[in-house]
A and B are shown apart, each in its own frame.
Chain A
Amino acid sequence: DAGITQSPRHKVTETGTPVTLRCHQTENHRYMYWYRQDPGHGLRLIHYSYGVKDTDKGEVSDGYSVSRSKTEDFLLTLESATSSQTSVYFCAITRTGTDTQYFGPGTRLTVL
């Protein structure tokens, strides 16, 4: 599992509140990714990082921001959560020297 953990694993919040999801890895891989998974849409890339303080947008980045101040942590923030952001969020890394991604266990977020 490449030592990837996500926290929290489940969260229920209200519309308009800020939410931060954390992805932590223990193997110092350079590339990290945040996806959301929704029925009928598969996985869609939100943001990714290619190093400390180096991030870029993915396919569905509106309403989300990210930060990476340490190699091991990649944070996803919803500044003002909306019901359309109810989803399962997955963090992933690309294992150094390979082209394959390894995924965390996911965070189920419900915005009421």
Chain B
Amino acid sequence: GQNIDQPTEMTATEGAIVQINCTYQTSGFNGLFWYQQHAGEAPTFLSYNVLDGLEEKGRFSSFLSRSKGYSYLLLKELQMKDSASYLCAPSGGSYIPTFGRGTSLIVHP
């Protein structure tokens, strides 16, 4: 089975850095996705981690610790357009990700 925990909501200021944490318990874990979903739109792929460590992609980075069942998404130089829901999605033996309930990030001026 899968158990995914991420904060429901976070707020941050434009230009700041925010870290969105996710803990999970996933049978046969083989990787973890992060997706971004703007209000009223479809989720879009942000990152995928399979090995421990930090993966950097522009202003966004994602970290994974397999032994701790822990990941975070780091957003730097926040912009207003980063206001969205961020979905943590570990995948298990079937390689199909299970989506967490999402963290709604509000960026204010």
A binds B: no
